[in-house]
Amino acid sequence: MKFFIDTAEVPEIRELAATGLVDGVTTNPTLIAKSGRKILDVIAEICDIVPGPISAEVAATDFDTMLEEGRKLARLRPNVAVKVPLTPAGLKVCKVLSDDGVKVNVTLCFSANQAILAAKAGASFISPFVGRLDDIGQDGMELIADIVGIYREYPAFRTEVLAASIRHPMHVTEAARLGAHVVTMPPSVLRQMYSHPLTDKGLAAFMSDWAKTGQSIL
């Protein structure tokens, strides 16, 4: 499974990328706004830190402008994945860009039917929003299971399932169990994955016992 980080904060990306656990980054207009920086500058800088796919989202909603924005974003760096909404115009843009060899991440997916359309349009990634479905009383992970199952039936589909709107480590575990290719998560969730009280307890005991020996490895 690939781990993407869902943020536009460059210092956080730089810190987490140094662990070797980050395979890519996803951004969106909200995250760019929170960064307080210009999108082209942010995306270019992130691309230079993380060699994997960096999702940069178009801001327009009509076909012509989305396509123009997508092409401009794609020219920034070879590892940019243009992010488009799952709308008729967005899927049309996806088809054009995909045919041109540009990676496309189709976002705001909330149904298996939408995921089928994205795959047929040549999307590199489909982003089902797990947490937002949970918020309205649906099981977001059921959607991940449905999409993974459908895609497995059609080897010609090259679209990777990118579980998004991740709220906690159990979302990551369940997405992995169901076979999602990618999970994109806030930095806080990745950091939570390190933690377990028994790990802390065991380490404290080891360190206490080691101190009693009076030894040093160095």
Report how far residue 101's alpha carbon sits from residue 104's, in angstroms, rounded to the nearest whole number: 9
**What does the DSSP assignment read for the chain?**
-EEEEE---HHHHHHHHTTT---EEE--HHHHHHHTS-HHHHHHHHHHH--S-EEEE----SHHHHHHHHHHHHHH-TTEEEEEESSHHHHHHHHHHHHTT-EEEEEEE-SHHHHHHHHHTT-SEEEEBHHHHHHTTS-HHHHHHHHHHHHHT-TT--PEEEEBS--SHHHHHHHHHHT-SEEEE-HHHHHHHT--HHHHHHHHHHHHHHHHHT----
Catalytic residue flag (residue 212): no
- Active-site annotation holder among 38, 72, 83, 95: 83
| Positions marked catalytic | 83
